[in-house]
Chain A
Amino acid sequence: AQKITQTQPGMFVQEKEAVTLDCTYDTSDPSYGLFWYKQPSSGEMIFLIYQGSYDQQNATEGRYSLNFQKARKSANLVISASQLGDSAMYFCAMREIQGAQKLVFGQGTRLTINP
């Protein structure tokens, strides 16, 4: 069964607008961690943000924030004031405490920022 689902294959956003990238997950483990990675056209994988299942606050890192809704099992990435350099593939991933350290990724969303 798919553990991580990203339902938006592609998104187009105007520069300076905020954008939300969707991620839903499936787990019965009470302890887990959620990650977002960015992959620009160069191919490198860049870690953006982390949210633990027991964290009380939504994670934030600069222009990135994670809208964590535990009951709905969603962990959407919000990018504020988008920039042309935000154009990239974005991947959501999850690690379960009982998962022996493995990180499972979603299908990815290709974000394009238009000037």
Chain B
Amino acid sequence: DVKVTQSSRYLVKRTGEKVFLECVQDMDHENMFWYRQDPGLGLRLIYFSYDVKMKEKGDIPEGYSVSREKKERFSLILESASTNQTSMYLCASSRTGLNEKLFFGSGTQLSVL
């Protein structure tokens, strides 16, 4: 089975801090995704990557950046954390194809104080 691992389950940071959320997958998937989940809003795509060093903006990229230096690792960076970035962050990966499902990590609950 595919394993998608997010480095932290819970994270508490201060406003203005630089925050790194790490995600690693072990099934050689081409595509990796970062979503944030908020009550009533569902999952919203922040960024995704279809290859090493390649990235595409999702629906809500403002305030975030990403890095994919290796195929298995996709990092989400909050350059200067703000309280409105308090959320559950979900990483996912998939093969390429219309019918390829996403495999999700267990999520990181980030609180920005």
Contacts and interface: CB of A to CB of B under 8 A. Distances in A.
Interface of A: 6, 9, 31-33, 35, 43-45, 47, 50, 52, 91, 93, 95, 97, 100-108
B43 A47 contact: no
Given A35-B101, A50-B101, A105 B42 contact: yes
A104 B41 CA distance: 12
Given A91-B42, A103-B33, A104-B45, A97 B107 contact: no
A101 B48 contact: yes
29 contacts: A31-B98, A32-B98, A33-B98, A33-B99, A43-B107, A44-B104, A44-B106, A45-B92, A45-B104, A47-B101, A52-B98, A52-B99, A91-B42, A91-B43, A95-B98, A100-B56, A101-B30, A101-B48, A101-B94, A102-B48, A102-B58, A103-B33, A104-B45, A105-B35, A105-B43, A105-B44, A107-B40, A107-B41, A108-B43
Given A101-B96, A105-B42, A105-B44, 8 more contacts: A33-B99, A43-B107, A50-B99, A100-B48, A101-B30, A104-B59, A105-B35, A105-B43
B98 to A, nearest CB: 5
B90 interface: yes
Interface of A is mostly: loop
B50 interface: yes
Interface size class of B (residues with CB under 8 A): 20 to 34
Interface of B: 30-31, 33, 35, 40-45, 48, 50, 56, 58-59, 88, 90, 92, 94, 96, 98-99, 101-102, 104, 106-107
